[in-house]
Amino acid sequence: MTCLEFTSSEGNCPCTQLPFIAEYGKVQLSLLGFFSGIIAALLGHFGTSLRLDWMQHWKGKKRILVAGGVGFLGSHLCERLLNIGHEVLCVDNFFTGSKENTAHLLNRADFDLIRHDVTFPLSVEVDEIYNLACPASPIHYQHDPVRTIKTNIYGAINLLDLAKRLRIKIFQASTSEVYGDPDVHPQKEDYWGHVNPLGVRACYDEGKR
């Protein structure tokens, strides 16, 4: 077969090179497929951590202290903070919380757990503090009222001191129980409450107040 239209200056028809070009093209395509496969596998494998690294870079990864971190609310908070890319330092005296609540986090490099009672000062370097350390259910906080009020007052003071020294934000968990048995619903910040400072719940309410 001759090709009149595409005969080259040397007299060879480029059509004779087509099989070679086709083979060369196949090799290129299969190499491309091979390398894209590897890149896709790597992205699949490291995708989550790449996404988190990116997020940490742009949004700012923080080291966050969660006091009362193995409790009901604290353990979910720890998990949430880790999942959005922060490091968590969980502090708890295990009075009502259980290690089991954070067992699935213990192997993570970005999670640390310390047994510590917040009624004693704590010296750590962190970027934010969440204070949830306090027994929340009446059966627990009425078990040792003095201890409850100490946890609320000394615990808050110690963590506020730490926040002040480090010049960082602190979140303090409170409760609507600070209004006692309120006769206004919902309660606003300027409502003084209907409280009983000597009642069985006072250790919790007064401490939070």
Ligand X SMILES: NC(=O)c1ccc[n+]([C@@H]2O[C@H](COP(=O)([O-])OP(=O)(O)OC[C@H]3O[C@@H](n4cnc5c(N)ncnc54)[C@H](O)[C@@H]3O)[C@@H](O)[C@H]2O)c1
Smaller CB separation from ligand X, 85 or 88? 88
Question: What are the beta bridge partners of residue 72?
Answer: none
Helices (H), the chain: 18-59, 72-83, 138-141, 145-166, 202-208
Any catalytic annotation for residue 204? Answer: yes
Residue 78 touching ligand X (CB under 6 A):
no
C-alpha gyration radius of the chain: 32
Among 56, 62, 63, 72, binds ligand X (CB under 6 A): 72
Dihedrals phi, psi of 21, to nearest 5 degrees: -60, -40
Residue 68 touching ligand X (CB under 6 A):
yes
- The burial of 205, by beta-carbon neighbours within 10 Å (0-12 exposed, 13-18 middle, 19 or more buried), is given as buried
Residue 195 touching ligand X (CB under 6 A):
no
Candidate segments 9-17, 51-59, 63-71, 80-88, binder of ligand X by CB under 6 A: 63-71
The two tokens of residue 158 are: 């110690």
User: What letter would DSSP give residue 180?
Assistant: B
Among 155, 159, 195, 205, binds ligand X (CB under 6 A): 155
Among 81, 96, 156, 159, binds ligand X (CB under 6 A): 96
With CA atoms as reference, report the closest residue to 178 among 139, 151, 204, 149: 204
Residue 207 touching ligand X (CB under 6 A):
no
Smaller CB separation from ligand X, 87 or 117? 117
- In sequence order, what are the residues at sequence separation of 6 or more whose Cβ sits closer than 8 angstroms to the Cβ of residue 55? 84, 85
Candidate segments 11-19, 49-57, 104-112, 114-122, binder of ligand X by CB under 6 A: 114-122
Residue 85 touching ligand X (CB under 6 A):
no
The two tokens of residue 116 are: 């510590």
Catalytically annotated residues:
204
Task: Give the binding site for ligand X (CB under 6 A).
Answer: 67-68, 70-74, 92-97, 117-119, 132-136, 151, 155, 173, 175
